[in-house]
Amino acid sequence: MRRLTLRRAPGRPLERLSARRPGRLLAATAAATVLTLTASGCVTVHGELALMPPATEAEAAQALADFTSAYNKADKAYDPAMDAGRVTGPLGEINQAGLRARAVTTPGGNPNHRPLELTDARFVLPKKAGWPRWFLADTDSNRDTDEGAGDQRWLLVFVRNGPQQLWEAAHLVVLGPAQVPEFAEEGGYAVPVAADSDALAVAPADLGKEYASFLKDGQPGQFTAGAHTSLWREQRQKGANRPGLATQYIDRAADQGDFAPLGLRTKDGGAFVFFATRFFERQTAAPGYRPKVDPAVKALLTGEVENTVTKEWVSNQVALVKPAGTDRDGVTVAGRLQGVVGAQGS
């Protein structure tokens, strides 16, 4: 077997050299085009058959620092452009809509800005093949201000879709330390869960639509009772028919692109899965009346409110999913972050 070597000429990509005849150089050169050099200096293969960690600890820490810096600049100025390159997916849509709204309601910036600090970071790095690559940052924040809330952890999922792209924060939930599970490891790295995995009570790819279905009909099944499931349905039902105002909800899965679910295997054989949904809240007032519209929602409003306003929300959840074979209560939604991203009057 002939020995292959890799050489990089100054300013040129990696070339694959072979001791074969010159007539085969073209084929060897074509094969070489599948090789690239990542920002961390690791050779990878397009098609991504090799299992790779998403980043080093230092690179993950830098991504967190870059996000925090951009987030603080945007929050201080109420300017979505200042962190647009550091957020994506459900968190990105919520963040950008919120900044656009506040830029209207509070022009000139945030008079109460207090820089966000994310410390005591623990990075969970799943080794996987292909793009996107991603990792979890489990951090402490300086926002534990609610009395009785105790210490809380900010869990951010960072996603990168190619070697030339920036790390962007796609998911955020806030949990108590006891709610963060122990993650399984192989070779010192976390283990990702395939979206279509049949090893879980509910595959990550199905969580969004199953959650939307539960919120619609409330049929007993895999979702355990709690603040983000049964109690949320009850809250919706209580507000559905107030004097002079009717409210309807339509829930949909949001699972494409950077909204795709991302899961990590836990030591108990289950998984910890981030997923997103989108829902529409339609409020219709009695004849002769108009529904009240909050200033932050009004800032995102299109159309004229005659007697109806429809708010579009993005909701970002994280769930603990039990192993396959669990017939009931296989999914516990542990945390949820949601925000209005648009509104339509009619």
Domains of the chain, by residue range, sit at: 5-45, 53-180, 186-346
Average pLDDT for 263-279: 98
Reported as a pLDDT band with limits 50, 70 and 90, residue 144 is confident
Contact 40, 30 (CB under 8 A): no
Tell me the C-alpha distance between 71 and 78, whole Å: 10
Looking at 24-38, 93-107, 229-243, 284-298, which range is the least confident one? 24-38
Residue showing tokens 């022009």:
107
Tokens 């397009």 label which residue? 46
* Percent of the chain's residues with pLDDT above 70: 84
Can you tell me the distance from the alpha carbon of 57 to that of 82, in angstroms, rounded to the nearest whole number? 25
Percent above pLDDT 90 for the chain: 78
User: 175: which strand partners?
Assistant: 153
Distance, CA of 296 to CA of 103 (rounded, Å): 10
The CA distance from 275 to 263, in Å, is: 9
Tokens describing residue 290? 């108009």
**3-state SS, residue 312:** strand
Rounded to whole angstroms, the Cα distance separating 44 from 38 reads: 7
User: Cα(225)–Cα(235) distance, rounded to whole angstroms?
Assistant: 13
Parallel, antiparallel or unpaired: strands 301-302 and 331-345: parallel
Beta-strand relationship, 35-37 and 14-17: unpaired
The pLDDT of 143-158, averaged and rounded, is 79
Calculate mean pLDDT across residues 80-100: 98
* pTM, 2 dp: 0.84
Query: Which alpha helices (H) appear in 132-264, and where do they start and end?
Result: 204-217, 230-239
Q: Determine contact, residues 312/64, Cβ cutoff 8 Å.
A: no
The per-residue pLDDT for range 107-128, each reduced to its tens digit, is 999 999 999 999 999 999 999 9
| Position 149 confidence tier, pLDDT thresholds 50, 70, 90 | low
What is the pLDDT at residue 239?
Answer: 87
Least confident window among 8-12, 63-67, 164-168, 170-174: 8-12
In this prediction, residue 145 carries a pLDDT of: 60
Indicate if the pLDDT at residue 21 is higher than 90.
no
The confidence score (pLDDT) of residue 43 equals 41
Q: How far apart are CA 7 and CA 13, in angstroms?
A: 9
What residues have CB less than 8 Å from 17, skipping those under 6 apart?
4, 5, 6, 7, 28
Q: Which residues of 64-81 are buried (b: 16+ CB within 10 A; e: fewer)?
A: bebbbebbbbbbebbbbe
- The confidence score (pLDDT) of residue 288 equals 87
pLDDT value, residue 153: 97
- Of 36, 46, 31, 34, the residue nearest 8 (C-alpha): 36
Please, what CATH class does the domain formed by 53-180 belong to? Answer: alpha beta
Q: Looking at residues 119-140, what average pLDDT do you find?
A: 96
**Can you spell out the DSSP letters for 40-91?**
TS-EEETT--S-B-S--HHHHHHHHHHHHHHHHHHHHHT-GGGTGGGB-HHH
Question: What pLDDT was estimated at residue 2?
Answer: 35
Give tens-digit pLDDT for 212-269.
Answer: 999 999 987 899 999 999 999 999 999 888 889 999 999 999 999 999 999 999 999 9
Instruction: Check whether 321 has a pLDDT greater than 50.
Output: yes
Query: Quick one: pLDDT at residue 48?
Result: 58
- φ/ψ (deg, to 5) at 31: -65, -30
Q: Is 128 left (phi over 0), alpha (psi -120 to 50) or beta?
A: beta
For residue 326, the SS3 value is coil
- The continuous run of DSSP H or E covering 322 comes out as none
Distance (Å, rounded) from C-alpha 139 to C-alpha 122? 6
pLDDT digits (tens, 9 = 90+) for 31-65: 333 333 333 334 444 445 789 999 999 999 999 99
For the chain, give the longest Cα–Cα distance: 86
Q: Which of 179, 331, 220 is nearest to 233 (CA)?
A: 220
Return mean pLDDT, the chain.
Answer: 87
